[in-house]
């Protein structure tokens, strides 16, 4: 019993440390202290665009194909193949594009940040920054968060586009039980701008959490080159759990009491 | 990354798969103990993240959204039937794979990568111990088995998420189970199990390969984990698409809603 309670307080304690760390980074971005290093933020934004966009698009594209074929087969089975667009619209926009964006962000960007910051930490580069009088947290972590906020909404929106295109290809071109026009009519009827905004909010909340978790694990890495690998693996555990919890809470919050469909009362 | 390197890596992974399968079958079998310890390691690491993830996913995506839609038609009892499609065929396998790749796969890459850069793998080879037979094969078999078994666990908790969604809508559970069991078929279940077992194989090969080829000092292991998890995710979803497409096209009987 005592072992359990000490373990529990350890978890609570590290959760508290993590929250304080995230609060500090968010505060530095919010109070615009980070603007002193705007150039670094732009550089990070550039790295984010060049290294991560293609994989994020690939994953949302594959997920879009998946939503498309499941939707086509499901609607065929209930005898309404023309309505595959309903399934595709809700599956893509509301659920699986946010999730796949979160997964790829965690895999590509989150672990990338841990590996980069962790290796800086263990080769004492972060201490060197402090010695030179550069506030390392602002320079390394807050700029990454600012860069993510500047770039990722657009990456996300184009990822939604990749998912939509893939669903269209799967339903209309591959399965081919509904005409292009018929699909488009239903597809666009069952979504509206609020849906898109909610979806972006969901994706960006995931992205923010992932960048913060990545910074925390990288900035506090220890134990040599092996420690960096372990920290990277550990950050992935937390990120995956967070992605799923944020996805569920977002659905509950935005669509829990309101299906936002153009039918029914 | 240049295209040639990409192709080379893909080829290397296929070669590693072949070598692993061959040395798993060929006697002697020295990997029993390592197999058990890797199995327990993955089990211990993954059960809790997987529990939270599947309940959250099951409640949110297919639970709330589909219930919303069905309530409009007064057909909330159909949610059970929808969960056969959503949970057994789709999300239980891929959430299991995502969690296993993100949690157990990354740990394997970090572990093997650390051994690689400490030159332990080379030392093993000098001692005449085959790293593939003694390190990769047990991980490969353990991940395949544990991913397949975790699929059932994920199914149960995913359906639990659906039950919560039904109760939140104030509907009775009887109709949920009735439509669930009339729609559930054996093909769905073995398809799901086969799919997750193969995901386990993909995760194990990618993560072992990336760990065993880690290089470049301090940043190397972290980089290896990063690349391993990206490749594993893309591989899982690409395979998922091909598998679902093939299963649906070759077994038209599972598409009929009863």
Indicate yes or no: CB of B223 within 8 angstroms of CB of A115: yes
CA distance B135 to B148: 20
Indicate yes or no: CB of A62 within 8 angstroms of CB of B85: no
Distance from CA of A145 to the nearest CA of B (A): 19
Nearest to A232 among B89, B222, B237 (CB): B222
Calculate the average pLDDT of chain A. 89
CA distance B102 to B109: 11
Give 10-residue mean pLDDT values along chain B (258 residues): 74 92 88 90 91 91 85 82 86 92 92 89 90 91 93 92 89 90 88 93 94 82 89 92 87 74
Contact A38/A147 with Cβ under 8 angstroms?
no
Look up the ipTM and state it: 0.89
Band of the pLDDT at A3, cuts 50, 70, 90? very low
pLDDT in tens, A4-62: 445 557 788 888 999 999 999 999 889 888 888 999 999 999 999 998 999 999 999 99
Q: What is the pTM of this model?
A: 0.91
For residue A23, what are the contacts with CB-CB under 8 A and spacing of at least 6? Answer: none
Residue A103 scores a pLDDT above 90: yes
Q: Which of B226, B228, B238, B251 has the highest number of chain A CBs within 10 A, making it the mutation to test binding with A?
A: B226
pLDDT reported for residue B80 = 87
Contact A214/A114 with Cβ under 8 angstroms?
yes
Nearest to A114 among B222, B237, B245 (CB): B222
Indicate yes or no: CB of A233 within 8 angstroms of CB of B61: no
Indicate yes or no: CB of A240 within 8 angstroms of CB of B102: yes
Nearest to A261 among B72, B217, B232 (CB): B72
Query: Scanning the structure block, which residue is given the tokens 């649906």?
Result: B248
Residue A83 scores a pLDDT above 50: yes
Band of the pLDDT at A2, cuts 50, 70, 90? very low
Nearest to B233 among A59, A65, A251 (CB): A59
| B3 near A CB under 8 A | no
Which two structure tokens, joined as six digits, stand for A223? 């134990």
Helices (H), chain A: 2-30, 38-77, 84-89, 97-104, 111-122, 125-131, 136, 143-168, 180-189, 193-219, 224-255
Nearest to B56 among A106, A122, A244 (CB): A244
Scanning B188-217 for CB atoms below 8 A from A yields: 214, 217
Length of chain B counted residue by residue: 258
Nearest-by-CA chain B residue for A218: B222
pLDDT in tens, A214-236: 999 999 988 887 888 888 888 99
| B223 near A CB under 8 A | yes
Nearest-by-CA chain A residue for B67: A259
pLDDT reported for residue B218 = 66
Domain boundaries, chain B: 30-255
A-B contacts at Cβ under 8 angstroms: 180
| B118 near A CB under 8 A | yes
């Amino acid at each position: 019993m005592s072992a359990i309670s000490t373990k529990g307080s350890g978890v609570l304690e590290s959760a508290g440390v993590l929250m304080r760390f995230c609060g500090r980074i968010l505060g530095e971005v919010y109070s615009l202290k980070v603007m002193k290093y705007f150039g670094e933020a732009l550089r990070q934004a550039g790295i984010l665009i060049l290294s991560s966009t293609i994989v994020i698009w690939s994953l949302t594209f594959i997920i879009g194909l998946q939503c498309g074929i499941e939707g086509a087969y499901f609607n065929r089975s209930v005898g309404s193949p023309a309505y595959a667009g309903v399934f595709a619209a809700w599956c893509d926009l509301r659920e699986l594009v946010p999730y796949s964006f979160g997964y790829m962000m965690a895999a590509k960007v989150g672990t990338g940040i841990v590996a980069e910051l962790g290796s800086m930490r263990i080769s004492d580069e972060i201490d060197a920054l402090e010695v030179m009088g550069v506030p390392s947290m602002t320079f390394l972590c807050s700029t990454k968060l600012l860069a993510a906020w500047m770039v990722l909404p657009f990456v996300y929106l184009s990822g939604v586009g990749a998912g939509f295109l893939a669903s269209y290809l799967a339903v209309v071109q591959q399965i081919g039980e509904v005409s292009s026009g018929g699909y488009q009519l239903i597809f666009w009827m069952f979504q509206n701008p609020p849906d898109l905004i909610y979806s972006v909010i969901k994706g960006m909340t995931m992205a923010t959490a992932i960048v913060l978790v990545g910074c925390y694990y990288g900035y506090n890495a220890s134990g040599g080159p092996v420690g960096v690998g372990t920290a990277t693996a550990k950050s992935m555990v937390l990120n995956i759990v967070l992605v799923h919890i944020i996805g569920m809470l977002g659905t509950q919050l935005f669509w829990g009491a309101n299906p936002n469909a153009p039918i029914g009362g | 990354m240049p295209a040639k390197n990409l192709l080379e890596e893909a080829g290397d992974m296929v070669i590693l798969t072949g070598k692993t399968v061959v040395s798993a079958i060929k006697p002697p079998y020295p990997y029993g103990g390592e197999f058990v310890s890797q199995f327990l390691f993955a089990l211990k690491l993954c059960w809790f993240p997987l529990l939270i993830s599947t309940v959250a996913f099951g409640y949110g995506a297919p639970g709330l959204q589909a219930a919303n839609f069905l309530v409009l038609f007064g057909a909330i009892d159909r949610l059970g039937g929808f969960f056969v499609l959503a949970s057994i065929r789709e999300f239980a396998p891929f959430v299991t794979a995502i969690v296993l790749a993100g949690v157990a796969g990354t740990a394997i890459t970090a572990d093997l990568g650390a051994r690689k850069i400490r030159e332990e793998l080379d030392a093993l080879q000098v001692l005449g111990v085959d790293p593939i037979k003694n390190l990769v094969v047990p991980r490969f078999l353990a991940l395949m088995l544990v991913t397949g078994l975790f699929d059932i666990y994920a199914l149960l908790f995913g359906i639990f998420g659906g039950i919560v969604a039904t109760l939140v809508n104030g509907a009775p559970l009887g109709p949920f189970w009735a439509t669930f069991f009339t729609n559930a078929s054996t093909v769905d279940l073995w398809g799901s199990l086969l799919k997750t077992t193969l995901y386990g194989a993909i995760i194990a090969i990618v993560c072992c390969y990336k760990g065993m080829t880690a290089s470049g000092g301090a940043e190397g292991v972290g980089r290896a984990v990063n690349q391993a998890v990206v490749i594993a995710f893309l591989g899982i979803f690409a395979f998922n698409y091909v598998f679902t497409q093939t299963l649906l096209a070759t077994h038209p009987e599972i598409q009929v809603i009863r």
